[in-house]
Amino acid sequence: MAGNRLPPYDKLVEQINRLPSLGRKTSERIAYHIIEMGDGEVEKLVEAILSAHNDIHRCSICGNYTDKEICSICADPTRDKSVICVVTRPRDIMAFEKNRVLKCTYHVLHGLLSPAEGIEPHMINIKSLIERLKKGGIKEVIMATDPSVMGEATAMYISKFIKPMNIKVTRLGYGVAVGSELQYADEMTLSRSIEYRNEI
């Protein structure tokens, strides 16, 4: 490996390094592991990569991940199709579904607006959302993007297009998390919990 370079090793480390969250050291550790893995294990890994990449695509209605034309949520007749919950990524749908909080449909933006990172409106799934709303039948759009600066900015930006359509636009409530301790809550969260206080 040392002395002359070992090209297959270098190429593998380089490819792994391009994956998100992986620094040089971890990439080398993983490359090492792949070299030492059994043949059957490597086959399983490669098979999983190719299947996921080739079989999974975005639902033509909402952008959720599916291996069919339309995702299981859009295809579900028991859903309240008059309410659309807009999320940042497919994983966020899982959070709501796991907790059985919503019985509506979703729309996945696959990103958030970010001038700093050069992410502009046309680069995320906004147009298809507007087109979906234009088809009619929608009573409410819940902006469930990340509770962050970018998530907030994206929610506000999109809501400006929806309001003129006479569709109710709502934003997730901010506040202290259930079961949390007030003394550990951050300043922003605490101030929101006051701002969004409800009469009892």
**Residue ranges binding its own copies (CB under 8 A):** 1-4, 6-9, 11-12, 14-16, 18-22, 26, 28-37, 39, 41-42, 44-46, 48-53, 55-56, 64-67, 71-73, 76, 89-91, 93-94, 96-98, 110
Nearer to its own copies, 6 or 165 (CB): 6
Nearer to its own copies, 129 or 162 (CB): 129
Task: Kindly give, in sequence order, each residue whose CB lies less than 8 Å from that of residue 140, ignoring residues fewer than 6 positions away.
Answer: 82, 83, 84, 167, 168, 169, 170
- If we measure between CA atoms, which residue out of 101, 121, 96, 100 comes closest to residue 111? 121
What is the smallest separation between the CB atom of 190 and its own copies, expressed in angstroms? 26
What is the smallest separation between the CB atom of 90 and its own copies, expressed in angstroms? 5
What is the smallest separation between the CB atom of 23 and its own copies, expressed in angstroms? 9
Nearer to its own copies, 31 or 162 (CB): 31
What is the smallest separation between the CB atom of 5 and its own copies, expressed in angstroms? 9
Question: Distance between CA atoms of 183 and 180, rounded to whole angstroms?
Answer: 9
